[in-house]
Amino acid sequence: MPQANLSVAPAHAVSIFCDSSLWTHVYRGRFSRPQDRLQINQDCVSVTGTIETALKEKDGDFHIRLRLDPAFNSMLNAKNRSGQHGILVVEPVCMNPVTQRDTLAEHVCAGFALHVYTPDMLHAHVRVNRPLTCSTWSMAGTKSIL
């Protein structure tokens, strides 16, 4: 299977992909800041796996289900194993039109668009370099990559 790179620069340039300024484009919802809704487990991780599904979300993100390569399975927790069927969720922000009310009100995607996923990457083997988070809200307890 061909390898696609979910990132736009070489995989060794991890600091480019884990830019903390991306947090300004993550909605906070009922929390005081986005990092309270998506608690940071690690500032920057680099994982590889296969994209199983990618769904457009109302908050402008893609909800990408990434089947990790075996070397990274230890990153999954019980919620990933049960609620996500052994999948790590990748949620690149501001990639789709925003229709969710709280996200619209916060203007987190206004004038910003991230371009790291295209539909032809479905079922491709990819490397993802992003912060590793744990949801305290909609997917409570599920680990995901921002």
The pLDDT, as a whole number, for residue 9 is: 36
If you search the block for the tokens 């796996």, which residue do you land on?
A: 49
The pLDDT, as a whole number, for residue 13 is: 37
Cα atoms in the 13 Å half-sphere on the side-chain side of 93: 26
Do 4 and 85 touch, CB atoms closer than 8 A? no
pLDDT tens for residues 67-125?
999 999 998 988 888 888 999 988 899 999 999 998 999 999 999 998 888 899 999 99
pLDDT at 7 over 60: no
> 20 — phi, psi (to 5°)?
-65, -15
User: How far apart, in whole angstroms, are the C-alpha atoms of residue 140 and residue 125?
Assistant: 27
User: How far apart, in whole angstroms, are the C-alpha atoms of residue 129 and residue 140?
Assistant: 22
pLDDT tens for residues 17-33?
677 888 888 888 888 88
pLDDT at 39 over 90: no
Q: What is the DSSP string of 89-129?
A: EE--SS-S----HHHHHHTTTTT-------GGGTT-EEEEE
Q: Quick one: pLDDT band at residue 2, thresholds 50, 70, 90?
A: very low
